[in-house]
């Protein structure tokens, strides 16, 4: 008999185009007889929680699974995104022929006016993982792993079952009845050994990926209609006709027609659908306007991925795939968690160890799973999904593909080969011994450990509105105030005055500089009659080799003490520009030799830069 083992569990993730919208293109198997169909009324953006439809043929039922978006008969001719969702509620709009479907979770893709909606009763048999002529492995996008991890906390719903006491002579001091209350979904992954920078951006903001060499043969533009754009979440992109691209080419997609580098991303062309329609290997992170530049990336290029802060954070989907020990496919246990916001996170390293990251707190909106029925639940009229296209009595049951071991990693699939599992460790970790840290623009060689914490103050919000059957989770999750802090254990530098320096100007080379910085509190003197505090900078850098590093700049300015608050009397120019401040640095007399100080610091901003050979970042 097989058992479920923790060492046969797997966590993968992907970014979402809208909160709660897990990205996956599956077509579903159309109901063979009396199939219900409809057409969308108006454009529907990624993140739509409801659909407006008309032209209904036959009858939809609450609980039906539907495919949104057309699918052509052959893989090569499909040019629109499509996905499967479940109808949780239906309503007519004012007695007209237009109907509104409430979905079990938001849509992941944009859908045009009049796009088709089909009732489905399962996954299409042509979508099996080994069949690459259609849409099996080729349309799985939740395939990234955060790094090397050993355990993680799954955000399964936490139920608030609340007892109520009726005034009743039969209660006898006990609870009279229990009612279910609100649900929370919170998880985390600790001790992730970083193999690359994939998980780093989500508690901070967006990543811009700039290739080192765009001298490839293609120099083209996005060529959608002038009123349209390449949208966030799109898989298909239209470019100018004379593109010169081939399957397998990597392209850099810019934010404008002047090669702007703040919102550039790299994708792999997996199929040339028609003369000028490309299928990309992963949904777009940014929206790109008509006429924005697209460049083919030269072979052998490396990439600079810059993570900058944003106000709104992108959310993530997690997919947890488990096999029991006999590896019988019908016993796979799959759970998918949507709308995850990385709330608190920690980046840390210590002597003799490796650079690690933890997603300490991640709140989610919802989940779906593959457990269709529970035997003791009946199928009588009035049950949640009675009469639906798929008989399922379990709340949150959803149609989804398994993410197996051969799917893991940077999406590399195309029409000729399935994923190859290259996301599993093929690179070395970043070691503490490869790292350097600079305070005040000067390198301290004797850092024993550091821990950098990010807190986003996120808050799940519960609003009035229809959700899925028995689903009482958050409607949305909003970011709060962002806070950074860092601690470090530092062995003080040598007390000798640096060569060429005098006792008067050698303060930054002095073993007592940290003590002086503690007392200064970031105040390095007045300018123009106003007193202001500047703080100082720190740079943490881990290098694995040539063009292979992670650098954390705090703040993004690099000039030792931060000359940011502008000298003068204009106080508005002195906001939002300070560096690091020391809260505590006790120079206690302990048994540590050489003398060691434990620093506790706060700061307001950072930037992370990763240089590596990995083109596509989620």
> What's the rounded Cα separation, in Å, for the pair 228 and 238?
11
Read off φ and ψ for residue 221, nearest 5 degrees. Answer: -135, 160
Model confidence over 152-174: pLDDT tens digits? 999 999 988 888 888 777 778 88
The contacts of residue 96 (CB under 8 Å, 6+ apart) are: 54
Residues listed for the chain: 618
Q: What is the pLDDT of residues 319-369, one digit of tens each?
A: 999 988 887 888 899 999 999 999 999 999 998 899 999 999 999 999 999
Residue 544 or residue 217, greater confidence:
544
In 3D space, the residue among 53, 21, 15 whose CA is nearest the CA of residue 37 turns out to be: 53
Cα angle 38, 42, 47 (rounded to 5 degrees) comes to: 95
Mean pLDDT calculated for residue range 383-387:
67
Per-residue pLDDT reduced to its tens digit, 23-45: 998 888 878 777 889 999 999 99
Ordered domains of the chain (ranges, CATH): 25-139 (2.40.30), 213-301 (2.40.10)
Is the pLDDT at 499 greater than 80, yes or no? no
Which helix (H) or strand (E) segment holds residue 519: the answer is helix 513-520
Residues 551, 540 contacting (CB under 8 angstroms): yes
* Token couple for 210: 């700039």
d(CA 279, CA 220): 16
Q: What is the residue whose two structure tokens read 């901003």?
A: 605
Residues 6+ apart with CB under 8 A from 222: 229, 230, 237, 238, 239, 253, 288, 289, 290, 291, 292, 294
Mean pLDDT score of the chain: 83
Q: Is the pLDDT of residue 9 over 60?
A: yes
pTM of the full predicted structure? 0.90
Asked whether the beta carbons of 378 and 386 are under 8 A apart, the reply is no
Instruction: Look at residue 568 and tell me whether its pLDDT is greater than 60.
Output: no
In tens, the pLDDT along 65-105 reads 999 998 875 555 677 899 999 999 888 755 556 689 999 99
Amino acid 257: pLDDT: 77
pLDDT at 375 over 80: no
Reading phi first (left if > 0) and then psi (alpha if -120 to 50, else beta), residue 339 is in left
Instruction: Identify whether the C-beta of residue 412 lies closer than 8 Å to the C-beta of residue 422.
Output: yes
- In this prediction, residue 8 carries a pLDDT of 86
C-alpha 145/C-alpha 169 separation (Å) is: 57
What is the rounded end-to-end Cα distance, in angstroms, of the chain? 39
What is residue 550's predicted lDDT score, i.e. its pLDDT? Answer: 94
Q: Give the span between the Cα atoms of 494 and 502, in whole angstroms.
A: 15
Q: How many C-beta atoms lie closer than 10 Å to residue 7's C-beta? A: 7
What DSSP string describes 2-35?
--EEEEEEEEEEEE-SSTT---B-----B-SSS-
What's the rounded Cα separation, in Å, for the pair 411 and 409? 6
Residues whose CB is less than 8 angstroms from the CB of residue 129 and which lie 6 or more positions away in sequence, other chains included: 136, 137, 401, 402, 404, 406, 407, 418
Spatial contact of 66 and 77, defined as CB atoms under 8 Å apart: no
What letters, b where the CB count within 10 A reaches 16 and e where it falls short, cover 111-150?
Answer: beeebbbbbbbebbeebebebbebbbbbbbbbbbbbbebe
């Amino acid at each position: 008999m097989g058992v479920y083992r923790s060492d046969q569990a797997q966590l993968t993730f992907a970014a979402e185009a809208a909160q709660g919208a897990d990205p996956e293109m599956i077509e579903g198997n159309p109901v063979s007889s009396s199939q219900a169909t409809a057409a969308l009324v108006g454009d529907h953006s990624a993140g739509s929680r409801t659909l407006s439809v008309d032209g209904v043929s036959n009858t939809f039922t609450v609980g039906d699974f539907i495919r949104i978006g057309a699918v052509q008969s052959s893989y090569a001719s499909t040019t629109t995104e499509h996905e499967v969702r479940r109808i949780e509620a239906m309503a007519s709009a004012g007695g007209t022929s237009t109907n509104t479907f409430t979905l079990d979770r938001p849509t992941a893709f944009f859908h045009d006016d009049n796009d088709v909606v089909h009732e489905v009763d399962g996954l299409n048999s042509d979508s099996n993982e080994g069949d690459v002529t259609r849409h099996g492995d080729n349309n799985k996008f939740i395939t990234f792993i955060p790094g090397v991890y050993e355990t993680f906390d799954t955000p399964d719903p936490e139920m608030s079952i609340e007892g109520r006491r009726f005034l009743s002579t039969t209660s006898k001091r006990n609870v009279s009845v229990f009612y279910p209350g609100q649900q929370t979904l919170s998880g985390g992954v600790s001790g992730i050994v970083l193999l690359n920078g994939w998980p780093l951006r989500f508690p901070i903001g967006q990543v811009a990926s700039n290739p080192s060499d765009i001298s490839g043969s293609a120099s083209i533009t996005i060529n959608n209609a002038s009123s349209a754009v390449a949208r966030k979440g799109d898989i298909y992109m239209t470019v100018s006709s004379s593109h010169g691209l081939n399957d397998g080419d990597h392209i850099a997609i810019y934010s404008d027609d002047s090669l702007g580098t703040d919102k550039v991303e790299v994708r792999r062309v997996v199929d040339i659908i028609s003369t000028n329609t490309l299928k990309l290997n992963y949904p777009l992170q940014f929206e790109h306007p008509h006429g924005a530049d697209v460049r083919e990336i030269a072979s052998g290029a490396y990439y600079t991925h810059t993570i900058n802060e944003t106000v709104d954070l992108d959310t993530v989907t997690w997919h947890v795939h488990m096999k029991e020990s006999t590896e019988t496919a019908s016993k796979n246990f799959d759970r998918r968690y949507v709308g995850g916001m990385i709330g608190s996170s920690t980046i840390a390293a210590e002597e003799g160890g490796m650079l690690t990251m933890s997603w300490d707190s991640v709140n989610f909106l919802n989940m779906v799973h593959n457990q269709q029925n529970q035997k003791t639940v009946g199928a009588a009229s009035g049950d949640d999904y009675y009469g639906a296209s798929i008989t399922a009595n379990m709340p949150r049951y959803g149609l989804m593909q398994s993410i197996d071991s051969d799917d893991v990693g940077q999406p590399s699939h195309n029409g000729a080969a399935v994923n190859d599992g290259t996301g599993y460790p093929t690179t070395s970790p970043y070691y503490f011994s490869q790292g350097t840290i600079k305070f005040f623009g000067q390198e301290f060689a004797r850092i024993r450990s550091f821990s950098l914490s990010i807190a986003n103050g996120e808050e799940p919000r519960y609003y009035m509105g229809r959700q899925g059957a028995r689903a009482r989770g958050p409607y949305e999750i909003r970011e709060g105030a962002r806070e950074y802090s860092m601690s470090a254990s530092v062995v003080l530098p040598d007390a000798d005055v640096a060569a060429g320096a005098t006792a008067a100007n050698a303060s930054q080379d002095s073993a007592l500089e940290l003590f002086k910085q503690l007392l200064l509190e970031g105040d390095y003197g007045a300018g123009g009659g106003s007193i202001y505090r500047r703080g100082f900078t720190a740079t943490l850098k881990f290098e694995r080799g040539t063009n292979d590093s992670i650098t954390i700049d705090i703040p993004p300015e690099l000039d030792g003490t931060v000359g940011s608050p502008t000298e003068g009397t204009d106080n508005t120019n002195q906001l939002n520009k300070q560096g690091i401040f020391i809260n505590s640095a006790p120079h206690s007399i302990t048994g540590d030799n050489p003398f060691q100080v434990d620093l506790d610091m706060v700061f307001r901003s950072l930037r992370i830069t990763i240089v590596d050979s990995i083109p596509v970042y989620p």
